[in-house]
């Protein structure tokens, strides 16, 4: 696999050209924080573009035509081109071509930049509208972190602690689509005690997230902080019984149940004018 490793400030990360996907995130002691794929879920930190979640019947409707665009889009399954590779940073890019236009009929350039500094890994997504009409798109991160955390016993209680109170209701999915009615949040103030039972009904979606960071911790373990800037939603997910927790900053979400209209009218999309760009960054910082 075509990969590049970046290291600085007591942290190292390995990135693959395939999907521009993060493969490893280690602290200075060599502790691995990223789920290393496996039978329960074969991915590690897929990138979601040009949609987050699912469209009704996996169908995109545009200008009287239909296109088959499956859950989370195609970026995670495409090889990105290297734009830059240095000891502490790298940039990868994906542009539209015949294959993407058969699924998603819009011109674009999508860049993913990784950089390590001051004990954290920063990942920046940039969507550029290279066409002459408005570009409707979403983007999202989907990193899976080891649960239990490095150094924690299998039965140790784990929790998420948000940077702000999270009183807003959450959203849930049915058949991959957003249920119409919000539900009471399981977050008490800023704290969510973690239990696999939380994810029996699929992801927890905070579509009105107040926080800009969250800490994933357990007694005696090396914890992790995930922060974000420019992302507007947050997803939390575990495949029941698997040894990971996904903490997912998003710009966008699945189609609401019952929506089957013109793609550009789908709730949650970025609508990017010609020649403009949209950028969002998330950071992962081990709390060793």
- Assess whether pLDDT exceeds 80 at residue 255: yes
Q: How confident is the model at residue 241 (pLDDT cuts 50, 70, 90)?
A: confident
User: What would the pLDDT profile of 107-166 be if each residue is shown by its tens digit?
Assistant: 999 999 999 999 999 999 999 999 999 999 999 999 999 999 999 987 899 999 999 999
Q: What is the pLDDT of residue 61?
A: 98
Q: How confident is the model at residue 175 (pLDDT cuts 50, 70, 90)?
A: very high
Q: What is the pLDDT of residue 210?
A: 98
Percent of the chain, pLDDT > 70? 100
Top-tier CATH class for 3-287: mainly beta
- Assess whether pLDDT exceeds 90 at residue 1: no
Q: What is the pLDDT of residue 141?
A: 98
- State the average pLDDT over residues 270-278: 98
- Assess whether pLDDT exceeds 80 at residue 205: yes
Q: What is the pLDDT of residue 155?
A: 83
Q: Specify whether the CB–CB gap between 123 and 113 falls below 8 A.
A: yes
Q: What is the pLDDT of residue 271?
A: 98
Q: How confident is the model at residue 240 (pLDDT cuts 50, 70, 90)?
A: confident
Q: Cα(99)–Cα(90) distance, rounded to whole angstroms?
A: 25
């Amino acid at each position: 696999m075509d990969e590049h490793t970046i290291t600085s400030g007591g942290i190292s990360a390995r990135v693959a050209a395939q999907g521009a996907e993060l493969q490893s995130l280690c602290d200075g002691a060599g502790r691995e924080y990223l789920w290393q794929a496996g039978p329960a879920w074969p991915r590690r930190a897929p990138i979601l573009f040009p949609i987050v979640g699912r469209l009704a019947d996996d169908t995109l409707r545009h200008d009287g035509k239909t296109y088959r665009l499956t859950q989370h889009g195609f970026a995670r399954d495409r090889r990105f081109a290297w734009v830059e590779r240095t000891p502490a940073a790298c940039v990868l890019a994906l542009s539209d071509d015949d294959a993407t236009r058969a699924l998603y009929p819009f011109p674009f350039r999508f860049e993913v930049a990784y950089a390590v500094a001051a004990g954290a890994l920063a990942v920046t997504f940039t969507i550029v509208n290279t066409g002459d009409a408005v570009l409707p798109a979403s983007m999202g991160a989907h990193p899976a972190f080891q649960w239990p955390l490095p150094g924690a016993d299998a039965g140790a209680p784990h929790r998420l602690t948000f940077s702000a109170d999270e009183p807003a209701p959450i959203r849930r999915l049915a058949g991959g689509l957003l249920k119409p009615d919000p539900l009471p949040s399981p977050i008490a103030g800023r704290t969510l005690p973690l239990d696999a039972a939380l994810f029996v009904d699929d992801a927890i979606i905070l579509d009105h997230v107040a926080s800009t960071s969250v800490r994933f911790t357990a007694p005696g373990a090396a914890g992790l902080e995930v922060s974000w800037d420019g992302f507007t939603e947050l997803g939390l997910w575990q495949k029941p019984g698997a040894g990971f927790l996904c903490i997912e900053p998003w710009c966008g979400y699945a189609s609401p149940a019952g929506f089957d209209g013109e793609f550009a009218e789908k709730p949650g999309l970025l609508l990017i004018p010609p020649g403009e760009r949209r950028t969002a960054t998330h950071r992962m910082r081990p709390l060793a």
